[in-house]
């Protein structure tokens, strides 16, 4: 891995990285995060009796939408054509929901930012839908799990 920050030119000015010389390859990234809440809040989510509807279903759609809008939110991120985005939500214990997102493209730059943004948007949607009953929810553990494709090849986070 390089020590240089790639989003700055020789004069220290921010710029979008030139990816025109890179080869188009299949690129995949997986990211995760979790939201921790009061057990009673999780019971409401699982029971499906939230006043706002199917919390997990709406969070899944929001995560996918977040991946698609990443370049609109992160100033120097390239807009890329996504070929697939999946958002999976799993209940852990009596107070946690884990979100795992996989984003894919065939292109010249990776999809790590899309996967990470999708996780955040999915978790924020859960927060938004449940904040009336639990303002103390917290999101944590947001991280890249794995990336494939491109010159740097396959990378996987330490467990």
- Please give the torsion angle defined by the CA atoms of residues 135, 93, 40 and 126, in that order, rounded to the nearest 10 degrees: 40
**Residue 154 is encoded by which pair of tokens?**
């396959």
Q: Known catalytic residue: 128?
A: yes
DSSP per residue, 104-156: EEEESS--HHHHHHHHHHHHHHHHHHHTTT-TT-EEEEEEEEEEE-STT--EE
Which of 9, 128, 134, 140 does the annotation list as catalytic? 128
Cβ contacts of residue 32 below 8 Å, gap of 6+?
A: 98, 99, 100, 101, 119, 141, 142, 143, 145
Nearest C-alpha neighbor of 64 from the set 134, 15, 119: 119
**Residue 97 is encoded by which pair of tokens?**
């929901």
Give the residue numbers marked as catalytic: 128
């Amino acid at each position: 891995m390089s020590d240089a920050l790639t989003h700055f030119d020789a004069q220290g000015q921010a710029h979008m990285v030139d990816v025109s010389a890179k080869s188009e390859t299949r690129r995949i990234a997986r990211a995760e995060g979790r939201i921790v809440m009061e057990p009673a809040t999780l019971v409401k989510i699982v029971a499906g009796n939230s006043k706002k509807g199917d919390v997990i279903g709406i969070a899944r759609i929001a995560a996918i939408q977040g991946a698609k809008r990443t370049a609109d939110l992160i100033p120097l991120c390239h807009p890329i054509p996504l070929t697939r985005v999946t958002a999976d939500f799993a209940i852990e214990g009596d107070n946690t929901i884990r979100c795992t997102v996989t984003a894919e493209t065939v292109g010249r730059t990776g999809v790590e930012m899309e996967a990470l943004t999708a996780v955040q948007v999915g978790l924020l949607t859960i927060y938004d839908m449940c904040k009336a009953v639990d303002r103390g929810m917290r999101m944590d553990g947001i991280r890249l799990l794995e990336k494939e494709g491109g010159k740097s090849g396959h990378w996987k986070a330490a467990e």
